[in-house]
Every structure is written in structure tokens, then in C-alpha cells.
Amino acid sequence: MEFRPVKRITGAFQQSLAPEEIKAVCDRAFGSESRLLSAVELGLGMYNSTYKVELAGQDRPVILRVAPEPGSQCRSE
């Protein structure tokens, strides 16, 4: 599988998912028989991490957007 995360400094707010985490999300959404071919982080967001994901058997890539962990999110009240 091809995996291309965005390079960030240590401790940056946004953090890339590990390939295993992306596979787990795809298994949940498309079934455990899905085969992940590539995951390329797009790096266009300031809050969410966004990936272009290619799966075997899918005609087109899908977009995966991931929010930071709840403990890392900011809230205004």
C-alpha cells in the first residue's frame, strides 16, 4: 500500500493517522474485505486531516476527513 502523509513538526495540532488506522476506518465503512491500495494526505484543511483513499474494486477514490481527538479539540462557550 502507498501511504503519503503530510510532514509536520513534532507536536503540531494536526497529526496524520497511521496506515493501520486508515485501514480500520475503511474496513468499517466498506467491509473488512476491502483492500486499501493507497492513502494520500491532501493537507488542505486547517482543522481536519483529509485523505484521498483508493480501494480495490472501487471505480473512483474516496475522500476521508478525520477530526482531531476530542481531547485535542477546542470549544468556545
The reported pLDDT for the residue numbered 41 is 95
DSSP state of 53: E
The model's confidence at residue 77, banded by pLDDT at 50, 70 and 90, is: very low
| Segment 38-57, tens digit of pLDDT | 999 998 777 889 999 999 98
The structural domains of the chain, with segments of one domain joined by +, span 2-6+16-68
Over residues 50-75, mean pLDDT: 85
Find, among 39, 27, 36, 45, the residue nearest to 63 by Cα. 39
pTM score over 0.85 = no
Residue type (1 letter), 66: V
Looking at per-residue pLDDT, the higher value among 75 and 63 belongs to 63
Query: How far is it, in rounded angstroms, from Cα 43 to Cα 15?
Result: 11
